[in-house]
Structure 1
Amino acid sequence: MDSVRAAKPLFSDGLNLANLVVSSDILCDSWAAISAQIDGNHQSQSPSSSETVKIQEFEHPEYKIIAFVTPLVAASHLQEEADLVPSSSSEASEFQFLCSQDSQSFAINKAAISLFNALRDSKLSPLKAQLLMQVAKSSKSIPHIITGGCLGGSIASLFTLWLLRRLDSATKNRPLCITFGSPLIGDDGFQQAISQYSTWNSCFLHVAHMDDCFPRLFLLSTAEQSLYRPFGTFLLCSDLGGACFEAPDTIIELLTLMSRERNGGTADSQIFNYKSVIESLEQRLICKNHSAFSVLDADSFQAGINVQVAAIGLMQIQLQNMDSDALWRKIVMPEKDILERKNQALDPAKALNKMKVYLAYFEWYKNKCEDDGQGPGYYDSFKNKMFKRDHEVVKFKTELEMYWKAVVEEAEKRPQFPGAPLRSRWLFAGTNYRRMVEPLHIAEYCKLGNRSYISKGRSKHFKLLEQWLDEHQKQPRNSVPNNSKIKKITSSLTEDSCFWAHAEEARITCRLLNSGGSNSAEIKNLVDFEKYVMGLLKSCAVTSDIFLESSSYMQWWREYEDMLSKRLMGTSHNSELTRYMKDGEYHCYK
């Protein structure tokens, strides 16, 4: 049955998304905020002066709008400012946090970054501080819509990114940036840096009309393929309707087709008036006028894209200029790739509860191994695999490892912001996983006779989970939530997930010395291990299973005592750990 079952069809929802946006009133309210500030004399050939930029806040029952309005600027002037400023330059220093493992450099439009920097200290920094204070005061802060037209939209986008860096770990109500007729502001690296963090990419909606030349401006500035790339979601529209697209390649192709159809668009120094466009989209939604968009196609996804292309008034021109293969390659396939990646993408929130169930099984396994008080404990039980349960736990270990490797890899690729790359919920869950499961990785590694686990055998995702927890705990106490959860973790599991790696190295060293070796460095290593164990005992950072009679730690202790008695020839070794063990204090350790 499975072999003949048809693959689940994909459907493009760009038309429905556009209708949802139009029906929500946020487009109408956002454009009203911009147009309320536009002055017919508010015009300039050089928009670099911060004094001419207006910023206005508008209160609505469900959200607050912050509108950026810049002077009217000639398209020819912006074309002259089409140069890209690299992320390594001092001009782009505020956005170097976007650099990540997969996106190590990017570039931003010169006109946009210059105006942003001119506004940063005088207007943008106080505004950002105000918004952060509002979020800090209330966990139920209302959402913010940050908007702007033309170059004001570019500043709105940059400001939103600047704000997201601080807000991402503090609030679920992230700002929504809506631009109208904004030029593209970054290159491929800039687009990739934002799209790596899907929650950031979804914060941007760019509205572009066929008759507005500014969204296509930098696509026309070079004869070859443009260096500029779109990010976020684009609501492309015409007098016939509108539809949303997400794939950068699709958006560039459609913007280029728009340019060919309209041969320029708005006049120089003119901001396109989106009021009538929004009203037309609302009217079409109410009247459900989609008869002109009926396009038949055997492929459900391509049919949906055809409908969207028809909705923005480009069906006729694309049929004249493209065969079906070209249409698939340039417009349909990029959108399909985006949707398929979304469907395949790991959703940590949905999978986390399942991982918690697997960890609960590990708790059962750990307790079962310690039931009679004489067993070796779950570390040594798994290492020797004497029982059926030791083999059954392997599948849960594998599932957990795959999940957390994917979570850590995704977090590492994202643009970095203050604090841990993982939210507290995942950071504490990851810590619980690391402390519970890494000992089993150590057991497998050492069972094969390998040495130096920490430097040679330790997985990168364990190192990063530990590093991020350390960085999180070093933050000021009032900025670290849920400290009680940290205590809960440390009370049931040994804090240092590499404890058993240290114990295995100590056992090997003991055997070498017992066989006649006399390396002073090895003796020092054993003394250091004593101090390490005593430090864990004093801070109650190790669990009682290490003292089970058959555990590797107790085997080390007996071998260590034997080695000391031979070497000291009756002389007492009076270390703190020796006194602790000989006095039997560990029998009362909890």
Structure 2
Amino acid sequence: MMERRNLREGLGMETDLIKSACSLAMAANSTPHRSYISDKPASYAIFAFPGSGTLDGWFSSKSFGNTSVDLKLFPSLRSIGNDELAVVNAKFFQQFRDLLKENFQLSDKIRFEHLLKDYQLSEEVSRAVRENRKVIFTGHSSGAPIAIFATILFLQQNRIPAFCVTFGSPLVGNQIFGHALRRENWVDYFVHFVMRYDIIPRVLLSPLSSIKGELQSVLPCFNPSQLESIARSQQASSSFYEVMRNVLSVASHAACSVMGCSNSLMQTVTSLIELSPYRPFGTYVFCTGKGRMFSLKNSDAILQLLFYSLQLNNQEVVTDVAYRNFKDHLEYGIEIPNNLGKEDIVDLEHLQLQLPSNEMGSIETAIKELGLSTRAILCLTAARESEKQKQRNQDRIDGNRKKIEDLLRGLQEYRVRGEIQEVGYYDAFKRQKDSEDFRANVKRLELAGIWDEIIEMLKRYELPDTFERRRDWVELGTRFRRLMEPLDIANYYRHSKDEDTGPYMRPEESRQPRPKRYRYSQIWLENAEGKPAGYFSESCFWAEVEDLRMHTSDQNKVQDPLAAFEKVKDRVLKLEENVLLWVTNGLLRRDVFFEKSTFVKWWETLPLWHQYGSRIAALVKEDGRKLPSVAD
């Protein structure tokens, strides 16, 4: 069904607040010599940033002017399991960094305002936080990306709400950028107003090489006094054609992806043509210029609407539309104050071809005023269905939880039975002598299959963006990893796979034999707990033991045990340090220290002088066994 929502319900902000933000954002572009301007109504503090009026402020030397985000500044802007960094516009990102102090050190306790170079801006933000005012960052045109980056850093450092309202904003980041904001549940704080004909929200979908000449010529038209003469020029029409040609390529490729098309021609074309990495995120409010406004949150659907709402009809002249491209970019100061709040915003999330009769008025209005064709509605519907499919995938995975927990319970019982018989969990499984070991292996293979399917979905972004932040799955993944990975390591060394493919763990993450099902679930926990990569490596304990054993006590490979020990001494000391920590935290159990465990037998081959001085000697000999004397 089509839905009508008032501003407070739909966007979380009052009409007057958005009008104030719009007025301030437009005014900021008239004061480019200042880093920001502000306004402080009753319960809010609004900060607006000016943009750049030159092409150099938009594009770097690359085709799309993109760069990977700085994780030291924005650690949240990445995918978790896939560990892909968000890509952002380099020039906008640099303009934002110019607002920050040089050589600052981030920490959990540092606040957003402490990072700002401008003392007055820092003081105003700090005062707003102390006074419990809601903080709003805003910007028009290329000032909007600065507001977006400021909002993300504020949310990241303060962990309290802040809103970002933009007007005619160019695109800022790639799919990972939006994915990360949705995962952190920050995306609802971003609202972008876009006039139907405004070319600027589409312009970064084109490479610099295809539009540089035309844009350089028409940028002065953003000065209202030069609008008429330049915006109706041949260069303006050419820039419109070039931008829309590239938007068509991006939108068509995205539509094929969400529809699951396997068009070989499309794959060939995209392998030859570099497509823009930028994608929309947040809530978009499309303004028709006739008083009506339509909202969308689905990023794939927004991308389609950016293309289809700017199609020519048979009566439109190219020069007139090109003129509107640039005129609309200057119209927010008129459109928002005059029309915002007159009618409820129509939510297009549920737009479809067939609706109940009482909803037909809304869809007919949307189709007419946004110029949507049947194909456009099909693409919007496909984008919505793609998001629904992600939810269905998650529901199916949630349906496997009981099975996963039952299998894990069976492995836990297998472990306890081994401890009662003084047989280590790892060593029993590695030997595979009893029927219980065989049954444990069947459970291992079944669990591996279930989790590998989950990981494949995550790799292809076929689950909701919030999945990896769900506490129930973080906890289940941690239980799974700690019970399952020792068995996989045992199986790996039981079959001497290290002789063909090397040790289970390698410094090169991409070449590790270690399955992604464990790498992903470890990263989930580290991200949830705010710990650095590798912090929760306890499930890899046996892999490190096996590799150190190969280096220090393998009689076929080690000619001089003392020399061999010296080479890995630091690794041994680090392992012993971790053993103490993991035992204290209950992450290593007593079966590790059984007399015939792989770990104890290896540790007892280490030089006696090391054993006597070791911090874990008491743990290894806790059953009363004594260290041999030096004479022995």
Range of TM-score over shorter length: 0.5 to 0.7
SS in 1 for 2:3: helix
d(CA) in 2 for partners of 1:409, 1:295: 29
Q: Which residue of 1 aligns with 2:46?
A: 66
Residues 1:378 and 2:434 aligned together: no
Task: With the length of structure 1 as denominator, give the TM-score of the two structures.
Answer: 0.62
d(CA) in 2 for partners of 1:233, 1:459: 37
Which structure 2 residues correspond to residues 164-183 of structure 1 after superposition, within 5 A?
164=155, 166-167=156-157, 171=159, 173-179=160-166, 181-183=167-169
d(CA) in 1 for partners of 2:544, 2:352: 67
Letter in 1 for 2:486: P
> Any idea what the Cα deviations from partners look like across 1:34-91, whole Å, max 9, x if unmatched?
366589xx597x653216x42123444xxx45242759x9xxx578966467345999
The verdict on how the C-alpha distance between 1:316 and 1:68 changes in structure 2, with shifts beyond 3 A counting, is closer
Letter in 2 for 1:519: Q
Paired residues of 2:474 and 2:521 also in contact (CA < 8 A):
yes
d(CA) in 2 for partners of 1:43, 1:586: 71
The verdict on how the C-alpha distance between 1:445 and 1:409 changes in structure 2, with shifts beyond 3 A counting, is same
For structure 2, the residue ranges without an aligned partner over 5 or more in a row are 102-115, 206-235, 248-275, 507-511, 626-632
Paired residues of 1:183 and 1:217 also in contact (CA < 8 A):
no
d(CA) in 1 for partners of 2:9, 2:572: 68
d(CA) in 2 for partners of 1:150, 1:462: 44
Partner of residue 500 from structure 1, selected from 542, 547, 552: 542
SS in 2 for 1:379: helix
SS in 2 for 1:272: helix
Residues 1:231 and 2:281 aligned together: yes
Shift of 1:519: 1.0
Q: Which residue of 1 aligns with 2:513?
A: 457
The verdict on how the C-alpha distance between 1:581 and 1:304 changes in structure 2, with shifts beyond 3 A counting, is farther
d(CA) in 2 for partners of 1:496, 1:43: 53
> Any idea what the Cα deviations from partners look like across 1:382-428, whole Å, max 9, x if unmatched?
332631752463267426744885799699xx99xxxxx97999877
Which structure 2 residues correspond to residues 519-538 of structure 1 after superposition, within 5 A?
519-521=559-561, 524-525=564-565
Residues 1:273 and 2:335 aligned together: yes
The verdict on how the C-alpha distance between 1:340 and 1:440 changes in structure 2, with shifts beyond 3 A counting, is same
d(CA) in 2 for partners of 1:537, 1:91: 34
The verdict on how the C-alpha distance between 1:425 and 1:463 changes in structure 2, with shifts beyond 3 A counting, is same
d(CA) in 2 for partners of 1:133, 1:407: 45
Q: Which residue of 2 aligns with 1:340?
A: 389
What is the RMSD of the two structures over their aligned residues, measured on CA atoms?
Answer: 6.0
Shift of 1:102: 4.5
Q: Which residue of 2 aligns with 1:30?
A: 17
Which structure 2 residues correspond to residues 289-328 of structure 1 after superposition, within 5 A?
297=353, 310-312=364-366, 314=368, 317-318=371-372, 322=373, 324=374, 326-327=375-376
d(CA) in 2 for partners of 1:519, 1:502: 21
Residues 1:394 and 2:444 aligned together: yes
Which structure 2 residues correspond to residues 196-275 of structure 1 after superposition, within 5 A?
196-197=179-180, 198=182, 199-210=185-196, 215=201, 221-224=239-242, 225=246, 229-238=279-288, 239=290, 241-245=292-296, 246=298, 247=300, 248-257=302-311, 263=321, 264-265=323-324, 266=327, 270=331, 271-275=333-337
The verdict on how the C-alpha distance between 1:429 and 1:407 changes in structure 2, with shifts beyond 3 A counting, is farther
SS in 1 for 2:334: coil
Paired residues of 1:438 and 1:462 also in contact (CA < 8 A):
yes
Paired residues of 1:87 and 1:107 also in contact (CA < 8 A):
yes
The verdict on how the C-alpha distance between 1:470 and 1:344 changes in structure 2, with shifts beyond 3 A counting, is closer
Which structure 2 residues correspond to residues 343-354 of structure 1 after superposition, within 5 A?
343-344=392-393
Shift of 1:440: 1.1
Shift of 1:330: 5.1
Q: Aligned pairs, how many?
A: 502
Q: Which residue of 2 aligns with 1:107?
A: 89
Shift of 1:545: 0.7
Shift of 1:343: 4.8
Identity percentage of aligned residues? 17
Q: Which residue of 1 aligns with 2:590?
A: 544
Shift of 1:269: 5.1
Partner of residue 57 from structure 1, selected from 20, 34, 40: 40
Which structure 2 residues correspond to residues 423-572 of structure 1 after superposition, within 5 A?
433-451=480-498, 452-455=503-506, 457-459=513-515, 462=518, 496-504=538-546, 513=555, 519-521=559-561, 524-525=564-565, 540=583, 542-548=588-594, 551-553=597-599
Q: Which residue of 2 aligns with 1:369?
A: 418
d(CA) in 2 for partners of 1:475, 1:91: 18
Paired residues of 2:86 and 2:175 also in contact (CA < 8 A):
no
Letter in 2 for 1:312: A
> Any idea what the Cα deviations from partners look like across 1:525-549, whole Å, max 9, x if unmatched?
4995986776566664643112335
> Any idea what the Cα deviations from partners look like across 1:485-523, whole Å, max 9, x if unmatched?
x9xx9xxxxx7433323444566679853x8x8611587
d(CA) in 2 for partners of 1:500, 1:81: 53
d(CA) in 2 for partners of 1:434, 1:151: 46
Q: Which residue of 2 aligns with 1:159?
A: 150
Shift of 1:439: 0.9
The verdict on how the C-alpha distance between 1:257 and 1:357 changes in structure 2, with shifts beyond 3 A counting, is farther
SS in 1 for 2:38: strand
Task: With the length of structure 2 as denominator, give the TM-score of the two structures.
Answer: 0.59
Letter in 1 for 2:540: C
Shift of 1:438: 1.8
Shift of 1:273: 3.2
The verdict on how the C-alpha distance between 1:458 and 1:119 changes in structure 2, with shifts beyond 3 A counting, is closer
Paired residues of 1:249 and 1:330 also in contact (CA < 8 A):
no
d(CA) in 1 for partners of 2:563, 2:480: 34
Q: Which residue of 1 aligns with 2:176?
A: 193
The verdict on how the C-alpha distance between 1:434 and 1:36 changes in structure 2, with shifts beyond 3 A counting, is same
SS in 2 for 1:48: coil
Paired residues of 2:139 and 2:147 also in contact (CA < 8 A):
yes
d(CA) in 1 for partners of 2:504, 2:391: 37
The verdict on how the C-alpha distance between 1:437 and 1:234 changes in structure 2, with shifts beyond 3 A counting, is same
